[in-house]
Amino acid sequence: MVRVNGFARRVFGFGAGLSMALVFVVIFFNSLRRYTMGRSVPWGEELPIYLTIYGVMFGLALGYLSDSHIRFTLVLDLLNDRVRRGLLILSDVVSIAAGGLLAYAGHVFAVRRGGVTASGLKSTADALAGSTGIEALAWLGKVGPYQYAIAFGGALLALSAALKLAERLTTPAEG
């Protein structure tokens, strides 16, 4: 379990780091272009927002799996080890359910509203689809792929909580 969770932590950390690095590159490129050529790229304002959302979702999963997320431990610290372990296991089960529901809700949201045009990305996505001949790339000009970040984050939360639950169940209780 330690190896699986370690691998998942590296994947989640890489995803969060890559998203944030891409946000930096896009903003830097857009700023450089704005101040040297006098105009921004059309996708330079909207894309960093969507990349940040994906980065937050990876970070959410990493934080949960690493047990380094924000939580109130005042009551938890007052409990004995056996009760604390039971409460943490219950928390993992609830988080799996919440992640699953979030993934489902995100999917429904993206399906219903995913066809709405992402104004800053439409022209670039259409040009990309036209130049490559891959018409499916035109979908990048819609908000659907970016609204799926909610479903993606829910799935990552459920996976992270399931891995944490398995870790807690396979680790011997203290005391």
- Global pTM reads 0.86
**Confidence label for 159 from pLDDT (cuts 50, 70 and 90):** very high
Contact 106, 153 (CB under 8 A): yes
Question: Average pLDDT, stretch 52-60?
Answer: 95
Check pLDDT > 70 for residue 74: yes
Check pLDDT > 90 for residue 71: no
Q: Give 24-45 pLDDT, tens digit per residue.
A: 999 999 999 999 999 888 888 8
**Confidence label for 152 from pLDDT (cuts 50, 70 and 90):** very high
* Radius of gyration for the chain, computed over Cα atoms and rounded to the nearest angstrom: 20
Residue-range domain boundaries for the chain: 2-170
Check pLDDT > 60 for residue 82: yes
Contact 173, 81 (CB under 8 A): yes
**Confidence label for 17 from pLDDT (cuts 50, 70 and 90):** very high
Q: Which of 65, 67, 91, 62 is nearest to 79 (CA)?
A: 91
Distance from C-alpha of 115 to C-alpha of 121, rounded to nearest angstrom:
13
Mean per-residue pLDDT of the chain = 91
